[in-house]
Amino acid sequence: MSMIGILGGMGPLATVDFMDKIVRLTGASRDQEHLPLLVANLPHIEDRSSAIIDGGADPLPALLDGIDLLNRNRVGLIAIPCNSAHHWYAPIRAHSKAPVLHIAQTCVAAVPHTARRVALLATGGALVSGFYQQALAERDIEAVTPNEAMQPRVAACIREVKAGYLDLAAAHLEEVLAMFAHDGVSTALMACTEIPLAAQRIASPPLTLIDSSLELARAVVTYACERGWNRPR
């Protein structure tokens, strides 16, 4: 039996939410039908967005330490419920013995075939990195990013979730969604794993929201259940 390795803590509440999704998606009726997880919740990994945009401290060594920890404990698959960390996906994948799912690949695969333009809600770092825009372009979908007035609201939403202020985070997110709806965009990618925690507090979002954390959780559960990790022996 293999375990699912989760490199988390970026941030911790998003990691808890991601685990919650895995547990609920597994469809188990008793403990022994659930999936084994090893979760390295390592919140001290340096800020990803700051490293990408401002030349802040490089998080890659700490990311690879986390990958090493999971591999030493023989996980069979690794998922990283932090979008911005996927700026370093290539070196992480090259370093890891266990396969590592790519959150943007699983998220973009969930965009409906009818959508030709989608809003991209992400950290400033992930937007500058560009891996979402590239994954969308491969499916001929246009990424619409927040304007200069709105991106600080997205950043504030993310920051408030990391500090545990979900209602404040939701208020920022509502402003952003209203702006996109006004511009005629009908689908948005929550391409930061903090954002779904804010979105849960919005009763009727004016756009179809695609949750990167949920899509990564679906991919993890499918991978592990296909291999029988939920029913050992």
With 0-12 / 13-18 / 19 or more C-beta atoms within 10 angstroms meaning exposed / middle / buried, residue 138 is: exposed
Residue partners of 181: CB distance under 8 A and separation at least 6:
206, 207
Find the binder of a second copy among 54, 61, 73, 208 (CB under 8 A).
Answer: 73
Find the binder of a second copy among 29, 114, 147, 204 (CB under 8 A).
Answer: 29
Name the residue nearer to a second copy (CB basis): 73 or 134. 73
Find the binder of a second copy among 5, 7, 45, 198 (CB under 8 A).
Answer: 45
Catalytic site residue 157?
no
12 binds a second copy (CB under 8 A): yes
3-state helix, strand, coil in the chain (%, to 5): 50, 15, 35
Question: Looking at 67-75, 124-132, 182-190, 201-209, which segment touches a second copy (CB under 8 A)?
Answer: 67-75
Question: Looking at 18-26, 93-101, 103-111, 218-226, which segment touches a second copy (CB under 8 A)?
Answer: 18-26
Name the residue nearer to a second copy (CB basis): 27 or 99. 27
Residue burial 93-115, b: 16+ Cβ < 10 Å; e: rest: eeebebebbbbbbbbbeebeeeb
Six-digit token string for 230? 């939920």
What 3-state DSSP class applies to 150?
coil
38 binds a second copy (CB under 8 A): yes
Find the binder of a second copy among 2, 47, 205, 225 (CB under 8 A).
Answer: 47
**Which 85-144 residues touch a second copy, going by CB under 8 A?**
none
From the CB of 210, what's the least distance to a second copy, in Å? 23
Total residues interacting with a second copy, rule: CB under 8 A? 42
- SS3 annotation, 162-207: HCCCHHHHHHHHHHHHHHHHHCCCCEEEECCCCHHHHHCCCCCCCC
61 binds a second copy (CB under 8 A): no
Cα R_g (the chain), whole angstroms? 17
Residue partners of 101: CB distance under 8 A and separation at least 6:
77, 78, 79, 80, 216, 219, 220, 223
Catalytic site residue 192?
yes
**Which 146-175 residues touch a second copy, going by CB under 8 A?**
159, 162-164
> Site residues (CB under 8 A) for a second copy?
1, 9-13, 15-16, 19-20, 23-24, 26-47, 69, 72-73, 159, 162-164, 232
Residues with catalytic annotation?
A: 82, 192
